[in-house]
């Protein structure tokens, strides 16, 4: 099979599996227990914390382990509001993940107002519009670093600079950026940042919330006081060990020109498709985007139909459309960029990882060419014989 859907989730690295296994079988103590048997678990958590901190250029004390990216996003927004009780306004953007957009919408019943910034045709917000949206009661600005559908990078570090010295917290959902572009948080002005392990070769069900040491944090989960009271719940030791190892591997990958390797694969694929399939256009800023993502519209074709044919050949990518009800809704990201529903429905996302190869790119390109030709020939009017 060929898997080009690495923005959805990634394969767990075998070295990650190896490190986490003993924490299911031999080292299964509860890290909060005082006895020696649990000590290995406590120590392993701290090793993971150091590795994650090294990966994102932070201090270990600023790393909180959570259950997923969704929890990290929810916790960041909740904390910003609870830590500043007089402030009830949040600014975000129209292309955020539902873990931000729907959470902000849900807070509406509690009287929290959300300003949703528009994006331009390239999928980027305007810093001027961000500045204009600020209010005395703005508690938080939350903007994603990399869009999961298009791969477009938002100007989050510029936004953090803009907010410097103002009493507004800044959070970024970096879930889809981690492992693809380097992160260096120290001195960046970012107060809160979310990551999710399964996007960079750790298992599903573990996330990170970076909380800058100068920021007051109010926990979402309250109970046993684990993670220094910032996230109660018995620590998922195997998963925490895994995300630590994955962070270490991702850091090494990026240090060895990993971003460039991903970009070379993606560019090879994109070039071939643009050359060999008529009516294909690229979506989103070509300049500001992740190295691993190609987001393409196939004029006149239906992404859902293409995916069905790809599936039969064991080739996996994504339409970027939410399909929970059975009827695919056009992507809110494409609509926010000003594209038509038709163009949104003809779009596919191809996202690469370090496990993909040039040989896979060749095979996948040939398949995409064939599928596009087949669907187009079915659409073209039949030849009429005789009278």
Which residues are catalytically annotated?
323
Query: What character string, x for contact with ligand PLP (CB under 6 A) and - otherwise, covers 98-127?
Result: -x----------------------------
Of the two residues 208 and 306, which places its CB atom closer to ligand PLP in the complex?
208
Contact 34, 14 (CB under 8 A): no
Measured distance CA(206)–CA(12) in Å, rounded: 12
Q: Which of 179, 207, 219, 320 touches ligand PLP by CB under 6 A?
A: 207
Measured from the CB atom, the residue of 115 and 172 that comes closer to ligand PLP is 172
- Among 65-73, 121-129, 154-162, 329-337, which window interacts with ligand PLP (CB under 6 A)? 65-73
Residue positions counted in the chain: 387
**Angstrom distances, CA of residue 168 to CA of 92, 132, 140, 212:** 13, 14, 6, 13
CA 320/CA 339 separation, integer angstroms: 14
Q: Give the whole-angstrom CA distance, residue 51 versus residue 55.
A: 6
Report d(CA 17, CA 141) in Å as an integer. 36
> Which range touches ligand PLP (CB under 6 A), out of 63-71, 74-82, 248-256, 373-381?
63-71
Minimum Å distance from CB 333 to ligand PLP?
10
Kindly tell me which of 149 and 248 has the beta carbon lying closer to ligand PLP: 149
With binding defined as CB under 6 A, does residue 175 bind ligand PLP?
A: yes
Q: Is 318 in the site for ligand PLP (CB under 6 A)?
A: no
Q: CA–CA separation, 63 vs 67, rounded Å?
A: 13
Geometric angle at alpha carbon 232, from 230 and 234, rounded to 5°:
135
* Residue 97 touching ligand PLP (CB under 6 A): yes
Q: With binding defined as CB under 6 A, does residue 196 bind ligand PLP?
A: yes
- When the beta carbons of 87 and 207 are compared against ligand PLP, the nearer one is 207
Q: How far is the CB of 366 from ligand PLP (least distance, A)?
A: 29
Rounded to the nearest 5°, which phi and psi values hold at 221?
A: -100, 125
**Dihedral angle computed from the Cα positions of residues 284, 126, 337 and 194, in that order, rounded to the nearest 10 degrees:** 70
CB of 172 to ligand PLP, least distance (A): 10
What is the smallest separation between the CB atom of 66 and ligand PLP, expressed in angstroms? 9
Closer of 138 and 176 to ligand PLP (Cβ): 176
Segment 123 to 142, residues that bind ligand PLP, using CB under 6 A? none
In the complex, least distance from residue 10 CB atom to ligand PLP, rounded to whole angstroms: 11
Q: Which of 19, 173, 248, 270 binds ligand PLP (CB under 6 A)?
A: 173
Nearest Cα to Cα of residue 65 among 196, 183, 223: 196
CA-to-CA dists, residue 106 to 74, 91, 102, 109, 375, angstroms? 11, 14, 6, 6, 41
Q: Least distance to ligand PLP from the beta carbon of 144, Å?
A: 5
- Nearer to ligand PLP by C-beta: 179 or 207? 207
Sheet architecture: strand order including 113-117: 63-66, 207-211, 192-196, 169-173, 138-144, 89-93, 113-117
69 sits near ligand PLP (criterion: CB under 6 A): yes
Closer of 69 and 244 to ligand PLP (Cβ): 69
Contacts to ligand PLP from residues 146-165, by CB under 6 A: 148
List, in order, residues 6 or more apart from 286 with CB less than 8 Å away: none
Tokens of 214: 């100068």
Binding interface with ligand PLP (CB under 6 A):
68-70, 73, 97, 99, 144, 148, 173, 175-176, 196, 207
């Amino acid at each position: 099979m060929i898997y080009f859907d690495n923005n959805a989730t990634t394969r767990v690295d075998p070295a990650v599996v190896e490190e986490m296994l003993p924490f299911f079988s031999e080292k299964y103590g509860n890290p909060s227990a005082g006895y020696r048997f649990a000590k290995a678990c406590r120590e392993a958590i701290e090793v993971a914390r150091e590795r994650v901190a090294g990966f994102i250029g932070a201090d270990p004390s600023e790393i909180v382990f959570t259950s997923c990216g969704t929890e990290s996003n929810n916790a960041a927004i909740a904390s910003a509001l609870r830590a500043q009780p007089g402030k009830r306004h949040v600014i975000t953007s129209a292309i955020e993940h539902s873990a931000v957009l729907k959470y902000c919408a849900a807070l509406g019943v509690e009287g929290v107002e959300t300003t949703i910034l528009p994006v331009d045709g390239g999928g980027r917000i305007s810093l001027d519009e961000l500045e204009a949206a600020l209010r005395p009661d703005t508690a938080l600005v939350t903007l994603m670093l990399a869009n999961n559908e298009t791969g477009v990078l938002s100007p989050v570090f510029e936004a953090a600079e803009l907010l410097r010295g103002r009493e507004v917290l800044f959070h970024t959902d970096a879930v889809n950026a981690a492992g693809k572009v380097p992160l260096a948080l120290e001195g960046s002005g970012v107060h809160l940042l979310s990551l999710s392990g399964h996007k960079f070769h750790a298992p599903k069900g573990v996330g990170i919330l970076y909380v800058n040491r100068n920021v007051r944090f109010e926990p979402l989960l309250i109970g046993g006081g684990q993670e220094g009271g910032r996230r109660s719940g018995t620590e998922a030791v195997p998963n925490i060990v895994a995300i630590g190892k994955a962070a270490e591997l991702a850091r090494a990958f990026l240090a060895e020109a990993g971003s460039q390797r991903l970009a070379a694969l993606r560019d090879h694929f994109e070039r071939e498709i643009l050359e060999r399939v008529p009516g294909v256009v690229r979506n989103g800023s070509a300049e500001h985007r992740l190295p691993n993502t190609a987001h393409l519209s196939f004029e006149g074709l239906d992404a859902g139909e293409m995916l069905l044919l790809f599936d039969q050949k064991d080739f996996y990518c994504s339409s970027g459309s939410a399909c929970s009800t059975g009827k695919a809704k056009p992507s809110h990201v494409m609509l926010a960029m000003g594209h038509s529903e038709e163009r949104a429905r003809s779009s596919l996302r191809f996202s690469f990882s370090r496990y993909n190869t040039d040989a896979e790119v060749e095979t996948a390109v040939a398949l995409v060419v064939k599928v596009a030709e087949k669907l187009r020939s079915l659409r073209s009017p039949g030849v009429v014989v005789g009278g």
